[in-house]
Structure 1
Amino acid sequence: MSSSSGQPQFRYTQTPSKVLHLRNLPWECTEEELIELGKPFGKIVNTKCNVGANRNQAFVEFADLNQAISMISYYASSSEPAQVRGKTVYIQYSNRQEIVNNKVSGEVAGNVLLVTIEGVEAGDVSIDVIHLVFSAFGFVHKIATFEKAAGFQALIQYTDAPTASEARNALDGRSIPRYLLPEHVTSCYLRISFSAHTDLNIKFQSHRSRDYTNPYLPVNPSAIEGNLQPALGPDGKIKEPESNVLLAAIENMQYAVTVDVLYTVFSAFGSVQKIAIFEKNGGTQALIQYPDVTTAAVAKEALEGHCIYDGGYCL
């Protein structure tokens, strides 16, 4: 469709459905207006109006699949866009095969989504990929992932229900973009419903859970180690994967090392976004997050093996 150039960065191939998803409708668009728009192509048997955060989206269901296909085909090739009250309306196939009014409206919309990721093992989709996909719709506060009988699932917390609804309407039934998935994953569908939770209780930053509102939350050591096979460099030594987050172990602690001290030291090389300090194996360690890998690499090169204080203290 020609309108896709201005759409969000994630584009999906569409499977035909007799249910069409309409966007950019005028405010308080009525069922009658939608039936009028579809009339040249066939009989509309069901509608769901005023959907989405701005209530400017809708679903219409044709009696027959070919009627829906003819409407999509007509506007894909027509020089005149579909219009309601002079507004250009964008039309695409819905991922639903029918409009089940009682099911959709019977659900209470909340600010937390329950996402089941079908067709993947727990390690296939990282929490960072989930964050990237769902951040396209608004600020994600928290994510918790877990494995249940239903498969690999995630709870995703937004600021409010309209934001969560918008993400659900856009992503339910879709796949995570191919380039964000490992080679062996052939399909990965998102099934999304609203959770009864309103505020997730995240105790650690880890590879299973994140709280993006609390930089001081302790880090679970398993989040750092992972169980990935280490890559070897040309010299045969273990080559660390580069990251925008540095893990600093501080030795010979004669003085207390606080978040403020670390902030001062590491800010010399660039903007420090987050710092977490934790005790591990009897020593003190810290995670320092920069906006990009380059800044982190410069700081690592400059600081590794040096001391914060003269006399060899806090190495």
Structure 2
Amino acid sequence: QIFSIFGSILKIITFTKNNQFQVLLQYSDPMNAYYAKMALDGQNIYTACCTLRIDFSKLTNLKVKYNNDKSRDFTRLDLPSGDGQPPPEPSRATPFATQNVIFTSYGGTTGFAPALGFTQGPVTPSAVPGQMTVAGVTGSPLNSVLLVSNLNPEEQTCTCAVCSNALVKFPFWIFTGVYGNVHRVKIMFKKKDNALVQMADASQAQIAISYLDGQRLYGKVLRATLSKHQIVQLPYEGQEDQGLTKDYSNSPLHRFKKPGSKNFQNIFPPSAILHLSNIPPSVTVDNLKNLFTSTGSTVKAFRFFQKDCRMALIQLASVEEAVQALIELHNHDLGENHHLRISFSKSTI
């Protein structure tokens, strides 16, 4: 139920090792496994109990011999139970979601195995009494549309002198795009501080929520949750929209175009330290510092990578400053056919 939020699980194997209850899960898509790890590692299944520790397994495929309470292959309903019990009923073996992740619980096995369960079907974490709730996750687990609220209405059009990117209609989508590919954005007509944001898939929506909710942007604290809407509807031909809806589905700024891209391994929470890349040789430290100060940022520290001067780290005065700088300067034209790439960093300077 917990892991099904992030994709279709094909196989599960449970076992005990070093007196710890452990589980191997195989998702149908490696991206789903990555998102599950990002969102659930370190979370408690129950309040202050059963902390998940998740890592990627070295196995590329799970071999399941039996369908019972210790293992299950949801692609093979014909497998024997192995203990004299009949095979699971088809109604309980429909795919409920998950490529391979292994997790352990530092709370012992008591209360953990029942919480895991093998019940199928889309279930939100909050639907199970006493179980974990992933921060900000409400609504349908298969929904890819976010409701982002408490935006600053005065900052919904980027007019800064250094931002030459004509694609930026609603700047906050660049922030959201750090955690997934944004396809559509719609500002609410009667509540300009609310917006619907359609991500590429439900997994990306969950990750975006976990990192966006509670972050400060343009002086206000963002709130992000799943919307009741399944899609962001584009205006019909001839329909007056006042420019409140934008389609970014073919944007060249998408960070996650290729499955298995290294970008998936470099998703980090918003921080005051930014990772800069695609820097041409002619650009100096002062050039980059001046670029960031021109947006109102205060540069606290800066250094190029010793082995690769195409990359650098820059530390700004606050996380909010870093978020705003990323929005305004990601894809900035540095000349020589180089556009600046910016992401949050877990490193220190």
Q: TM-score range by the shorter chain?
A: 0.3 to 0.5
Q: Which has the higher helix share?
A: 1
- Normalization by structure 2: what TM-score? 0.34
Q: Which of the pair has more CA radius of gyration?
A: 1
Structure ranking higher on relative contact order (CA contacts 8 Å, 6+ apart)? 2
Scaled by the length of structure 1, what TM-score is found? Answer: 0.37
